[in-house]
Structure 1
Amino acid sequence: MGAGASLEIPVKTENTSASPLLSTPSENSSGYHSNIEDLDTLASMQSQTAQTNQKIMPKRPLASRPSVIIGAVTKQQQEREEELENKNVKKSPELKKVFEGFEQCKKFLLDQSKRNERYYEPLNKMLKDNVTEAFSKFDKDEQRMVMANRLARINFVQALVGYYNFVYDDLDVDGISYGFVDEANQVKEKKNKDPGDHGTLLVLTIREILWNFSDSSHKFSEMISQTDLFTKLVHDLEIIKEEDLQDMADFEDMDLFAFNSAVGILHNCARNPDIDKQIFRDLKVTKLLYPFLRSTVYVKMITLLALGNIVTEEEVSKLAAEEDVIDFLLKAIVKALNAPDRKEHGFHLTELVDGLAAIAQSDTNKSKVVSKENLLATLVKIIQGKVTTEVLACVKLVWQLAFLSANKSAIKKDKELMKTLDSLRKDADYDIKTTANSAWFVLVDQDERLHHEEEMKKSHKKTADTGKAATTPGGKHIMISYCWKDKETVLKIHQILENEGYPTWIDVKEMNKYANLLEGMARAVEEAYVILICFSEQYRNSQNCRTEADYAYAQQKNIVPLKMQRGYKPDGWLGALIGARLYIEFSPHYPFDDQMKKVRDQIKLDDEPPPVVRKPDVPDTTSSAATRVRVWTRSQIDSWITEHKLQGSAFKQVKRMTGEQLEFLYKVMIKSPDTFYRWLEMKLELKTLEDLMKFDRAVQALGKHVSH
């Protein structure tokens, strides 16, 4: 959200998402969970992810402790942050004085003896002189990010919000609304101000600082999320909704600072991928903001940009359908592109493109966006303007849109866009170059790699048919795919697997071996025999994570989903990818060691060769030499049903099962009995104890026909 009333700072968002909700996961006391809707889905998904034969390697030396890895990465991040700061100080030495002013303000804010109305005036002046003025003076994005990061690093944010809460409560106001701002404007004109007047002005100064700097740095906005500021902002918006909403629709020249700053801060924090979006949903921010979409064009725009980063995938599809927001944003983008200041209604072109990317979270909206006439040509025109923030926003949007197969075809047909994107893969700007390469991977490289692999398989088959020796490389490791937000749990899992001798690949330890990060990711997927998808809402929202997971799925890798976020239900593209797979939840709700045992069970692979399909004239389902259940004929299944007396109406659904489904059902019974019996109750609707016992014995008997 743009900084201050002028909305001048471009938004640097990273939003991804996916398709509409396909199914709702169920939960059970075992810690295994499932998106299973029916056994047909369950079995078909199992066949798509058949496990590759792999032996566990001998034990290795102990892996690095999670705390060591996290500490090393954190240190690297801090070093990069300080390097950027030093570079800007070298260019603008006066920033040193600014940093000294920040420290002076923080010391004042933390001094408990200064929590008195007598100090409202000097503090307000100090903040304006040292913080607000610095933001205005240093107007380049990088300079503002450096200042915001410095403020976050010295714990200025907590101190500032703490003093804000004190003044807010001391003034005993109902909330910050139009009336409060109007009173503040009148106070400015008073010659003789009392302490309360200075308190009113101080509240607005602090709100302005929080709004401006939260737009400049994810680190700053994350610090805000660790305070109780959101609760007060939501309370203020509730008052504005009750008292001022009608006036906002009627008067274009109304001072909207109270509304803009509240929504702006919420938006700046919501677009931070490291902040849990559930915080905003618990506060019912979506429901609160929705009515403002029917206000003036400006209010609608600021509300829409905020909602785009807060709503769920299902809600964003509904939002686009009901409010026609895609056309609204596209028109604004075209107007901003042709405007001298690259703005429309005060919103910079970069903000508007990022807003469109947020709306394109769902695959339904992706399709709608690409279908709009001249969209791709408009993106090319923006990129050709060579404004770094605008180029980056457009390339991120193309990457986002390319996840949908139909869009991929449409984009690749646009020769001018593909030529432009290809040239950006060698751009001097690191962010543009890496983002362009990621988009190119989804559009082109992934398909080429898959085609090459398919040709290799054909070649292998041809060689084998001629009787010559031929081999295909097996998987070498367990790959862990995750988002950094879940690093503590993920690195603990990695350490345990490494210590037990499992060859494990994780980016923080392996990526430095590759000059090309995408090549490193692709090789890691291709050489994996199993991939642990450590998912959460942040994982689903990450375009990098989706690129990784989609490629794993396209490679038909064995995927084991691990749920990192209690209460999150995998939806959209992630829900589709997980499908009927059982997932293991890692949260304080379940003992960690118990969940690790389930992970080990999932990643142990068969050492036996693939079965030889035989079709005996007279099936013998009691013999240990009988064909494996997964390839049973209908006659063999009927014999099994007769042998175990599963006739009658209670077992009518059993008669329709395939051998592949029966094998998978047996494995579910062994690995997760709670899921198995719950499925019997809900899907087969076995009502009597006798029927349950019959079916239980019948499924157990399948064990001698199942590879273990």
Structure 2
Amino acid sequence: MQSYLEVFTNEFSQIKSNEQKAKLLEVVLRIGTDICCSHEIVVNCLLILANFGNEKHAHKFISYDNVTRRLLKALESDDKKINKGEILDALKRIVTDDDNSNVIANSSMLDWLLSNTHEGGSDEIQQKCREVVAALTMSETSKEILASNQKFQKIFPKHQFSLGDILATKRYAQIWRRNSAAKTEQNRSIDGDEEHERKRHVMISYSWKNEDVAIALKNLLESNNIKTWIDRSGVTLDMMEEIAVAVENCSHFLSLVSSHYKQSVYCKMEAKYAVELEKTIIPVHVEEGFVPSGWIAMVTSGLRYHEFYHADDVTSENCSALVELLTS
């Protein structure tokens, strides 16, 4: 049996007139905001509006108090027919609009989202909750609301989201691409000497779980006059531009490979960007017994790797080959 969304998709795709499409979306809007409709119908209306509507449609929809309450009821439900992942993906999409973001941040759903970022439900649901919360922080007003929320501050001190996490959001991608385009254009205008100067540093990309090894590597490389770039503040939304520039201007990209690195959406984004820019990637294994798979295996396959499982392993003797590689 087809889902409501599949049926709507088939019908919507056959409509040629934009006016008729707008009228159909208004019908969906009226159905979803009817006080008598079930939370299952509300969910399907959300999916339709998130996939086919615009920010105006979405804002009208979620601004109804009964809508956010019923969406919350659906998220709290044990009903197997309700796909919580789809609901969270839809929320992530619509909160890229500031007005929609503020509605969710001020609703009872915020507490559920925060409570499920690291506990309750599957790993996939926890990940999607973190992505929605991260998207909320992109709005200045919502960020202020979150800043005064004790649960948010406890879970994400200093707005750190690098716990296997975040930001496959539409706005994140837009900011990243826009920054990339601007910096690429800027680089075209500088001469070779200046560009060489800017691209001297080695970027150390790591999960905060392996911070001790990352810092040890930073200190040893710099003691050998090798300039490094490393994020010490945790990957926050305010750091996105700086991280993008760091990837663009690095001569080598050290990828500190571990299970935590594999789980981190931020680390994946950094590595993917380095691949796109054809940077020299050097994998460094920092977790004993971890066998790269999935996207990490694709990025590092065939590359020579180094092993430093503990900060104490990062010695001049053990790092001689790495230092030679970076200075050759």
Q: Which bracket does the TM-score occupy, shorter chain normalised? A: 0.5 to 0.7
Gaps of at least 5 residues in structure 2 are 1-38, 45-65, 118-124
SS state at 2:225 partner = coil
For residues 650-688 of structure 1, the C-alpha deviation after alignment (integer angstroms, 9 at most, x for no partner) is xxxxxxxxxxxxxxxxxxxxxxxxxxxxxxxxxxxxxxx
Partner of 1:535: 257
**Residue 175 of structure 2: aligned partner:** 445
User: Letter of the aligned partner of 1:598 in structure 2?
Assistant: A
Equivalent residues in 2 for 1:615-694, closer than 5 Å: none
1:603 aligns with 2:326: yes
Shift in alpha-carbon separation, 1:438–1:523, aligned structure 2, 3 A: farther
Q: CA RMSD in A?
A: 4.8
| d(CA) in 1 for partners of 2:75, 2:252 | 50
Q: CA 1:332–1:453 in 2, change beyond 3 Å: closer, same or farther?
A: same
The aligned counterpart of 1:572 is 294
Give the C-alpha shift of residue 535 in structure 1: 1.4
Residues 1:397 and 2:119 are matched in the alignment: no
Where 1:473 maps in the other structure, the secondary structure is helix
Residue 205 of structure 2 corresponds to which residue in structure 1?
A: 481
Ranked by relative contact order (alpha carbons within 8 Å, sequence separation 6 or more), the top structure is 1
Counterpart in the other structure of 2:24: none
Residue by residue, what CA displacement relative to the aligned partner does 1:322-342 show, whole Å, maximum 9, x if unpaired? xxxxxxxx9699399675693
Offset from partner CA, 1:45-100 (integer Å, 9 cap, x none): xxxxxxxxxxxxxxxxxxxxxxxxxxxxxxxxxxxxxxxxxxxxxxxxxxxxxxxx
1:537 is aligned with what amino acid?
A: S
- What SS is found at the alignment partner of 2:290? coil
**Structure 1 portions without partners, runs of 5+:** 1-329, 357-368, 402-417, 461-468, 606-708
Deviates further, 374-383 or 568-577: 374-383
Partners of 1:595 and 1:340 lie apart in 2 by 58
The 1:396–1:337 alpha-carbon spacing in structure 2 relative to 1, beyond 3 Å, is farther
- The amino acid across from 2:253 in the alignment is I
* Conserved 8 A contact 1:530-1:559: yes
Deviation digits for residues 13-67 of structure 1, max 9, x if unmatched?
A: xxxxxxxxxxxxxxxxxxxxxxxxxxxxxxxxxxxxxxxxxxxxxxxxxxxxxxx
* Mapped partners of 1:495, 1:521: distance in 2: 20
Whole-angstrom CA distance in 1 between matches of 2:265 and 2:42: 23
1:427 aligns with one of 135, 140, 143? 143
CA distance in 1, matches of 2:205, 2:42: 35
Deviation at 1:390, TM superposition (A): 5.2
1:376 aligns with 2:90: yes
Match of 2:230 in 1: 506
TM score, norm. by length of structure 2 = 0.53
Which is greater in Rg?
Answer: 1
Matched AA of 2:128 = L
Q: Secondary structure at the match of 1:342?
A: helix
Name the residue aligned to 1:490. 214
TM-superposed CA distance for 1:494, in Å, is: 2.0
- The DSSP-based 3-state class of the residue aligned with 1:546 is helix
Distance change >3 Å, CA 484–CA 399, structure 1 → 2: closer
Q: 1:519 to 1:346 in 2, by over 3 A?
A: closer
For 1:378 and 1:332, the matched residues in 2 are separated by: 19
Q: Secondary structure, in 3 states, of the residue corresponding to 2:181?
A: helix
Distance 1:551 1:578 in 2: 14
Mapped contact 1:478–1:532 kept (Cα < 8 A): yes
Contact 1:533 1:560 in 2 (8 A): yes
TM-score, length-normalised on structure 1?
A: 0.27
Aligned pairs, how many?
229
